[in-house]
């Protein structure tokens, strides 16, 4: 079994969600949250930051973990377990710019339109729906505590419920 791990980000500004229009694969022509595969040596957070920047031109930082998608799908050479971490992110700098290869368009879309548009990927709609109805302090936030472990980690992050 192959394991594919990806990360992405939800950025909301003025009650609008930053979405990308994908040019390839099963979601070709549809809009979704920016994100992609985690590369070797990257943390999930680093992958989300990189993917959002590559796909949208926006430098953003993770605020909290707001969703996890898991799934198992058949592939020609067996099965693939997919894990996708979705972070609420804060835009820091940059100008909207599609990469022109994987992404044909980047724009902020009003939340009501995201929830009603059949050209928006279902997972994106579910994440936006849950974000819209959640308490602002819900979700998992990254701990700032110095946590001691008995293992040697190159990178180590713990997400837990806010107090």
| Model pLDDT for residues 68-117, shown as the tens digit of each residue | 999 988 888 889 899 999 999 999 999 999 988 999 999 999 999 999 99
Q: What is the pLDDT of residues 108-117, one digit of tens each?
A: 999 999 999 9
Q: Counting every residue, how long is the chain?
A: 163
- The pLDDT value recorded for residue 159 is 82
88 annotated active-site: no
Residue 124's domain comprises: 2-161
DSSP for 11-28 reads -EETTEEEEEEE-SSTTT
- The pLDDT value recorded for residue 163 is 57
Q: Any idea what the Cα angle at residue 117 is, between residues 114 and 118, rounded to 5°?
A: 130
CA 3 to the chain's CA centroid: 17
CATH number for 120: 3.90.79.10
Domain count, the chain: 1
Longest Cα pair distance anywhere in the chain, in angstroms?
49
Q: Any idea what the Cα angle at residue 78 is, between residues 76 and 82, rounded to 5°?
A: 100
Given the residues 55, 80, 102, 105, the one annotated as active site: 105
Sign for the pseudo-dihedral over CA of 68, 35, 129, 11: positive
DSSP three-state, residue 80 = strand
CB-CB neighbours of 66 under 10 Å: 20
């Amino acid at each position: 079994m192959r394991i594919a791990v990806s990360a992405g980000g939800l950025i909301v500004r003025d009650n609008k969600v930053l979405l990308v229009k994908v040019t390839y694969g099963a979601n070709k022509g549809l809009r979704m949250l920016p994100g992609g595969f985690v590369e070797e040596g990257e943390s999930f957070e680093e992958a989300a930051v990189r993917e959002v920047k590559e796909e949208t031109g926006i430098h953003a930082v993770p605020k909290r973990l707001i969703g996890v998608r898991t799934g198992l799908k058949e592939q020609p050479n067996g099965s693939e377990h997919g894990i996708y971490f979705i972070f609420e992110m804060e835009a820091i700098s940059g100008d909207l710019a599609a990469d022109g290869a994987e992404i044909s368009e980047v724009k902020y879309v009003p939340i009501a339109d995201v929830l009603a548009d059949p050209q928006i990927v279902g997972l994106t709609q579910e994440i936006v729906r849950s974000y819209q109805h959640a308490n602002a302090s819900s979700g998992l936030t990254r701990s700032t505590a110095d946590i001691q472990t008995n293992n040697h980690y190159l990178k180590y992050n713990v997400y837990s419920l806010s107090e």
